[in-house]
Amino acid sequence: MTIDWNHFTPWASLAGGILLGLASALFILVNGRILGISGIVGGLFRPKSGDVGWRLSFLLGLLVAPMLYFLVAGPTSVRIDAGWTTVVVAGLLVGVGTRYGSGCTSGHGVCGLARLSPRSLMATLAFMGAGFVTVYLVRHALSS
């Protein structure tokens, strides 16, 4: 087994983790809400009065931020080793999983674990375990 050191980015990963943690902490302090993407998106499908604006702004920020990064840092090379069908099916399965798990990686894995939630610990262990098994099966057991 060889390690592709071009994909080893500890400083960028650390900076991203710090930014996620700060954003989550600020979001709960300012808004009193958990920063879970599936919950934010889900709230758009059952809107409450005065609740749509901040959700749309948040999602717009998720879309605009990479574009701003592109303008500042220039193009980056991204390689996805899957076809469109696989990506779409995977996305749908993640969506179904977040509904059954009552939250996503940001809600359970970042915010829930920080609050020492036992339910979030179990959810995080479940989706991380499922991810490990899936990667193993796809890359080793099912590959030719």
Does a structural domain hold residue 100? yes
**Is residue 118 in a domain?**
yes
Looking at residue 121, what is its pLDDT? 94
Which pLDDT score, from 0 to 100, does residue 31 have? 87
C-alpha triplet 90, 91, 94: angle, nearest 5°: 85
Task: Determine, yes or no, domain membership for 112.
Answer: yes
Q: How confident is the model over 43-100, as pLDDT tens digits?
A: 899 888 888 999 999 999 999 998 998 999 888 777 787 889 988 998 888 888 888 8
Domain span including residue 93: 9-141
Please give the model's pTM, rounded to 2 decimal places: 0.72
Tell me the pLDDT band of 107, cut-offs 50, 70 and 90. confident
pLDDT at site 6: 66
Q: What percent of the chain has pLDDT over 70?
A: 94
Number of domains in the chain: 1
Give the model confidence (pLDDT) of 12-21 as tens digits: 889 988 998 8
Domain annotation covers residue 80: yes
